Chains A and B, each alone.
Chain A
């Protein structure tokens, strides 16, 4: 993969195997972030219309907890209320980003990103890194460490580093280019 500036835009040159990997990751992120369809079927249509999820629950797994955190550190009840009003839309934002990236990847070897698409990609990559980094239990020192190829999480670690490079490059070229 190469990421290069092209005037106001950014061009990503991408190999077919990278399209496959990013596509697989986008689909996994969709699985994690899609609103629960059962909830959608049973809910109050008016509440759904304005984005309230009456049946929202505090997540139990570490990845969802990181992607959908509590808003009030010492007030579970207020956090739950906040979740009912915001989690649906947060999930939908994640779903839209992943679907948008999947559409960009469709049969492409070269993807040109304008500002709007750039934002979607950066947000998508951030959610993916949050998911993978949580799975890897990344801490402040991890990023400097090598993992051995016999480590069962080695491939996820390599993917995480690749996504980090991609996000960092997109931000430095797309947002801090004048520096």
Chain B
């Protein structure tokens, strides 16, 4: 990801609902790439996943610093929809069974 804006990690972590996580065997991962802009990735997460700006920024920074981030979990069909949408935005995304 290209760093053209200053961003700092917030200490607001997304809420994890363990109960529903267990029912959801597939997940969508967005991978870091050196071309997509940090502001663009944040915009995509806010626009498509309806994340708050803080949550979108947190996941964007995870992608940037960890090399990848899980952005959604659910049924295989739902994850295929999310991955196809990410590809339409030009983000490098994959799905896998957890």
Binding site for B on A (CB under 8 A): 66-74, 82, 86, 89-90, 93, 122-123, 126-127, 129-130, 133-134, 138-140, 142-143, 164, 167-168, 171-172, 175-176
B4 at the interface (CB under 8 A from A): yes
Alpha-carbon separation in the docked complex, A116 to B21 (Å): 35
On chain A, the residues within 8 Å of B87 by CB distance are: 68-69, 71, 86, 90
B78 at the interface (CB under 8 A from A): no
9 contacts between A and B (CB under 8 A): A66-B33, A71-B94, A72-B96, A73-B94, A82-B80, A86-B84, A90-B88, A127-B90, A168-B37
Alpha-carbon separation in the docked complex, A164 to B34 (Å): 12
Alpha-carbon separation in the docked complex, A67 to B87 (Å): 7
Please name the 4 residue pairs, one residue from A and one from B, whose CB atoms are nearest each other, closest first: A133-B35, A126-B90, A86-B84, A73-B94
On chain B, the residues within 8 Å of A167 by CB distance are: 37, 40
Alpha-carbon separation in the docked complex, A138 to B37 (Å): 13
Also in contact, A143 and B2, with CB within 8 A (given A167-B40, A171-B43): yes
On chain B, the residues within 8 Å of A130 by CB distance are: 35-36, 90
Alpha-carbon separation in the docked complex, A139 to B3 (Å): 11
B50 to chain A, nearest CB (A): 14
Also in contact, A138 and B34, with CB within 8 A (given A90-B88, A164-B2): yes
A172 to chain B, nearest CB (A): 6
Cross-chain contact B90 with A67 (CB below 8 angstroms) = yes
Cross-chain contact B96 with A73 (CB below 8 angstroms) = yes
On chain B, the residues within 8 Å of A74 by CB distance are: 96
Cross-chain contact A70 with B94 (CB below 8 angstroms) = yes
A69 to chain B, nearest CB (A): 6
